[in-house]
Chains A and B, each alone.
Chain A
């Protein structure tokens, strides 16, 4: 019940296309759902996050869609650029508890 399942494991998208990464969770007590971007050898960087009281949040080219009834959330990257090539992690947490991480998605944007 503590798991966060992330898919796909890897993704190749043409420059200018839309990248979509999906996550699913079981624990309905989770109240915070962030996405992190990580480049090789660097720490994860907080990209965008959502709480379950909204169904969508947009920041620039990045959008989180949240479906509370399905217990799923996804990251959409619009107009994907080669600089977006990185590993993306979804996560979830509740109250002051630890972040529970997805397994990660390696995204490659082809020029």
Chain B
């Protein structure tokens, strides 16, 4: 049973560029959340997707956008990259309903470096 997978593992971009990160949820999960984790800090919630719709959003600018596909996989897009966007980007998945609905499982993350 595959867990949450993310690609790519590492990415280096320059300021002003755009980036797309990908996530496949754990088998049986239909909800995907994205987090940004700066070095030495806790994860910061970006947004959550359920049934292909953005259900919740954290305090991130519109440069951060996402998408969820019918197979529940998801993409995170960041436009006009800034140096401050350098971080570990984490994807988490959970079941949208049921007793364990908020048990989130995380992928290994994508390390984004903006130069």
Contact = CB atoms under 8 A, between A and B. Distances in A.
Interface of A: 32, 34, 36, 41-46, 49, 89, 93, 95-99, 101-104
A34 B106 contact: no
Given A32-B102, A46-B103, A46-B105, 14 more contacts: A34-B103, A42-B109, A43-B107, A43-B108, A46-B104, A49-B103, A89-B43, A96-B96, A96-B101, A96-B102, A98-B48, A101-B43, A103-B41, A104-B42
A36 B37 CA distance: 14
B15 interface: no
B29 interface: no
Contact of A103 (B42, B88, B96, B105): B42
A100 to B, nearest CB: 8
B58 interface: yes
Contacts of A34: 103-104
5 closest A-B pairs by CB: A43-B106, A101-B42, A98-B45, A43-B109, A32-B102
Interface of B: 4, 33, 41-43, 45, 48, 50, 55-56, 58, 88, 90, 96, 101-109, 111
A98 B103 contact: no
- From A41, A93, A95, residue with most partner B Cβ within 10 Å: A41
Contact of B90 (A43, A96, A102): A43
Interface of A (DSSP majority class)? loop
A55 B107 CA distance: 30
B109 A99 contact: no
Given A44-B43, A44-B90, A99 B96 contact: no
B103 to A, nearest CB: 7
A49 to B, nearest CB: 7
Nearest to A43: B106
A93 B31 CA distance: 15
